[in-house]
Structure formats: C-alpha cells, structure tokens
Amino acid sequence: PVDDSTSLLDALPYPVGVAVTANTVQGDSLELLNQHFNQVTPENFMKPEAWYNDDHSFVDENAEADAVMDWAQANGGRVYGHVLVWHSQTPDWLFQHEDGTFLSGDSEADRQELRERMRTHINNVAKYLSDKYGLFGSDTNPLVAFDVVNEVITDGPSPETDGLRNSYWYQILGEEFIDDAFIYANEAFNSTYAAPGAEHPVTLFINEYNTQYGTDASSKTGRYHALIERLVDRGVPIDGVGHQFHAWLDDDVEGFGAAMSAFDDLPLVQAVTELDVPTRTGTPVDTQTLLDQGRFYQRLFEMFAEQDAKRDLFSVTLWGLVDSGSWRFYEGDPLLFDPYYHGKWGYAAAVGQE
Ligand code: XIL
C-alpha cells in the first residue's frame, strides 16, 4: 500500500542521513540508499577502537571507513563523522601506563600524557581522512561534521560531577577534557588539514541520548544545556548540538520538540543524529502497531519541519537503513524501511502520503 517512488530528499527540507556499515554502501541496498539519503554516518568504523591495531599502533588502512567515504565521494553525499572522544568502544590502554595501571588525575604528568594522547588520536584521524580524500573543504573530501564528544551527561542528577559522566576521561582530566577535545578537533579538521580558503569545513558537534524526557534544570537536557552554555561561555569551538533520539513508540512525542527548542537560546546548529523508534513489542510487529509507528514518525517529521523553519537543521539521521540491520531490531522494527527495502508507514509519513 505504500508508494515508494518519492525520495525522502524531495520531501524533506534538510539533509537526510543514515547510519551505514561497509555493506550498506554497496550491493543490494545501494539503490535504496542513493534514492533517499544524501548523508551517511559510519555506524561503528570511525569510533576510537576502529583506528587501532592490536599492538596499539594507528591503522594503515581502515577499509570500512574508506567504504563510507568512497560512497559519499562517488555519489555527491556527505559524511557525518562519529566519534572522536567517547567512553565506549574505546581501548582501555588509552588511559593506562605501559604496566596496565591507570593514569592518575592527581599527577600533572599523567594528565598531560592523556591530553597528548587525545590530541594525537584526533590529529591521526584527521590526517588519515585528508591524506586519502584531500584536505577538508576541498571538492574531493565529503566529510562535513564530526561528533567530537558523545554521551558525556549523566542519566540522573549528579552535582558532584557537575552532571558529567564519571568516565576515564572525566576521572583523569575533569570537565576540561571536553574543552580539549573541541580545541584539538578544531585545530586538526578546520586548520591543519583544511583546504586553503575553506572556511571552517567541518562542523563540530556534541552528541547525547535521552534528551526527550524533559528540559528543566533537574533533567538530563537541563544538564546538557548547562554544560554547553559553559563551553560557549569559555569560547570553546563547539558548533552543534546533537540529539540521538533513540526513541520508543510509547514516548511522549511532545518531548522531542521540547528538547530541540530548549537550545534556541544558544548560537549553535542542531542535528538529529541517531533516530530510531522501536515499538517495544519485539518482532514480528503487527499491522496496527506499525500504523501507530507511522503516526509517531509523522508527528516527528512535522516537528523537524517546524524546527528547520525556525533555524535550519544541520541534518536528520536515521540509525540504520532497514529494520533487520538495526541494533534495536528485536525491540520492534524501528526504522523507515523493511528488510525487503520497502517503505513502511513511517516512510510514507515522511514523504507526506496520508
Ligand atoms: C551502536 C551501534 O549501532 C552498534 O552496532 C554497536 O554495537 C554499539 O553502538 N549511541 C551512539 C552509537 O552514539 O554509536 C551507538 O551505536 C548507539 C548509541
């Protein structure tokens, strides 16, 4: 019953992204990808752990990251990089001495060591991607953004850490690690490896999950906003606020718009970085529930249009192309396309079919 002919790109007024693996950017799924999306986020292959050999040396080749860059370069698409500094999918040795003991926040030498390691990591990623694809901002390099830090806010109130996750980064460097990450990323992506004359080619994002559950000072979004305000006040080179929006079909849909509007007072662009809406029913999902999911997506896309009209969105990214490839597939068919590459009701809603 759903007519698949309309491209999401014709229907939506902002860049439309999707998380991909090396498999998604070739073979059977290529047609669907090319029809509906003009931006890709590597789902796993630009994360810290993806860049290192077992002996801790930086890789000579990251074939999966290359596949994503190659797709974008060949198809006029953009790449949204993910992620430079995170607590997860990051090797422990980054935080350790050679004997396996952890660097200490009480030692200025250790703190300086971790800053250097962070700077080297970020610089190596930028160098790799510009050696292969040309300087950032040149015609040949499709990278336009990077999540610089990811998931640094606590789920519950935690005044003792100013609302920040007690990660190794935080334990050793304190809040300063976030400033450092943006400063080093800006230096590498927007200066050292930027094309001459290219003005700030890579937009630098902070990214967070569960921002849809309230906006007051005691909420996660309240803590997120407070941190970003501190960064802006300190002159940290941050450009954008990311909302993952790993949603649930039974979420209050009003919460998503409220989350985005909560940042209207800050001079930053916003992006939806990892959207999916599992039904919470498990699989298979019955038709009535899929229709409900379509209506939920409809209200989300209406809200995105309102947000975009207020202030252009950087992009809206679905966290996967088809349900069966989703990390949340078993929580209930979360995406816009089914495993047979057909548009679901959520897709129909996005392109404005009733
Ligand atoms: C997920 C991937 O989708 C999975 O394949 C992987 O096993 C774990 O990470 N927030 C993020 C993403 O920022 O990097 C996560 O991606 C999903 C939650």
| Helices vs strands, H then E, count in the chain | 10, 8
Residue with the nearest Cα to atom 15 of ligand 1? Answer: 43
Residue with the nearest Cα to atom 9 of ligand 1? Answer: 44
Q: Do residues 145 and 314 touch, judged by C-beta distance below 8 A?
A: yes
Distance of CA 317 from the midpoint of ligand 1 (Å): 13
44 lines ligand 1 (CB under 6 A): yes
208 lines ligand 1 (CB under 6 A): no
Residue with the nearest Cα to atom 4 of ligand 1? Answer: 327
Q: Measure CA 12 to chain center.
A: 19
Domains of the chain and CATH, by start: 8-350 (3.20.20.80)
The token pair that represents 212 in the structure block: 């849809």
**Closest among 100, 102, 82 to 169, alpha carbons compared:** 102
Distance of CA 233 from the midpoint of ligand 1 (Å): 31
- Residue 93 has what pLDDT? 98
- Please tell me the total number of residues recorded for the chain in this structure: 354
Residue with the nearest Cα to atom 12 of ligand 1? Answer: 43
- Residue 354 has what pLDDT? 66
Which of 20, 21, 44 best tests ligand 1's pocket when mutated (most atoms within 8 Å of CB)? Answer: 44
Question: CB-based burial of residue 160 (10 Å sphere; 0-12 exposed, 13-18 middle, 19+ buried)?
Answer: exposed
Q: What is the separation, in whole angstroms, between the first and last Cα of the chain?
A: 11
DSSP secondary structure letters along 93-143? GGGB-TTSPBP-TT-HHHHHHHHHHHHHHHHHHHHHHHHHH-SBTSTT--E
Interface predicted TM-score (ipTM) of this complex, two decimals: 0.99
For residues 344 and 347, what is the distance between their CA atoms, to the nearest angstrom? 5
Q: Do residues 73 and 133 touch, judged by C-beta distance below 8 A?
A: yes
**Counting atoms of ligand 1 from 1, which one is nearest the CA of 209?**
10
pLDDT in tens, the chain (354 residues): 789 999 999 999 999 999 999 999 999 999 999 999 999 999 999 999 999 999 999 999 999 999 999 999 999 999 999 999 999 999 999 999 999 999 999 999 999 999 999 999 999 999 999 999 999 999 999 999 999 999 999 999 999 999 999 999 999 999 999 999 999 999 999 999 999 999 999 999 999 999 999 999 999 999 999 999 999 999 999 999 999 999 999 999 999 999 999 999 999 999 999 999 999 999 999 999 999 999 999 999 999 999 999 999 999 999 999 999 999 999 999 999 999 999 999 999 999 986
Q: Do residues 139 and 205 touch, judged by C-beta distance below 8 A?
A: no
Which of 210, 273, 274 best tests ligand 1's pocket when mutated (most atoms within 8 Å of CB)? Answer: 274
**Counting atoms of ligand 1 from 1, which one is nearest the CA of 150?**
13
